[in-house]
Amino acid sequence: MAAHDDLRRPRPGTVIDEREFTPVSGPPIRVPSHGHLVHLQFRRFAGCPVCNLHLRSIVRRHAEIEAAGIREVVVFHSPADELREHAADLPFAVIADPGKRLYVEFGVESARRALLHPRAWGPILRAVLRSTWAIVRGRERGPAARPQGGRFGLPADLLIAEDGTVVACKYGEHAYDQWSVDELLDLASRSSHPATSKP
């Protein structure tokens, strides 16, 4: 990773300017969000098996995440029309960023280690098997043969307080290196910037 990318990355204590995102479905959403912590996730491309494996864990425990005062916002580097086909059943805001403007702004990188890191191999195998079975059964659509933005994206997680302060962040070293739901909930519970209201 280039040094300028590292300098661009927000760190705990960085204040994020307020902005409005337009999800692929649903109303616009503001980040930061009044009365909530925001979990801003940077994923890869629409239909990415590894991303789907992780997001299913978020979906399963979404009510628990909401009860903790956390609002999920997930960014992909795919066009909105393509992403919409894969995100219809996701209960949170999904943002299309095909030009990777937000990835650049937040210092989220791509690297071959996303897929080549040994710790990624097990999750990749599980993800591909799960997605293949879902596609065969007609429950999911496969990804594009050549995803916009490439296949080597690395994940990133930021937890942002309602005043815009970055409470915590994680920049993944491989494609499946992100916070688990338990880690997210623990970070929120220990935050010095708790959400002031629940959804």
User: Is the separation of the CB atoms in 106 and 75 below 8 Å?
Assistant: no
Whether 111 and 118 have beta carbons less than 8 Å apart is answered as: no
Taking residue 147's Cβ as centre, other Cβ atoms within 10 Å add up to 18
Measured CA distances, 89 to 77, 135, 145, 179, 191 (Å): 19, 15, 22, 22, 30
Q: Is 75 exposed, middle or buried (0-12, 13-18, 19+ CB in 10 A)?
A: buried
CA torsion sign, 62 to 51 to 41 to 115?
A: positive
41 in Cβ contact with 180 (< 8 Å): no
Can you tell me the distance from the alpha carbon of 166 to that of 14, in angstroms, rounded to the nearest whole number? 5
User: What spatial distance separates the first Cα and last Cα of the chain, rounded to whole Å?
Assistant: 38
Angle between helix 49-60 and 118-136 (nearest 10)? 80
Q: Are 123 and 178 in contact (CB under 8 A)?
A: no
Task: Kindly provide the residue ranges of all beta strands, DSSP E only, lying in 77-179, ordered along the sequence.
Answer: 93-96, 156-160, 166-171
Q: What is the pLDDT along the chain (199 residues), one digit of tens a residue?
A: 444 456 579 999 999 999 999 999 989 999 999 999 999 999 998 888 888 889 989 999 999 999 999 999 999 999 999 899 888 789 999 999 999 999 999 999 988 888 777 777 777 677 677 667 666 666 666 656 676 767 788 999 999 999 999 999 999 999 899 999 999 999 999 886 655 544 4
14-68 residue pLDDT tens: 999 999 999 999 899 999 999 999 999 999 988 888 888 899 899 999 999 999 9
User: Which domains does the chain show, CATH number per domain?
Assistant: 3-188 (3.40.30.10)
DSSP state at residue 79: -
Q: What is the pTM of this model?
A: 0.85
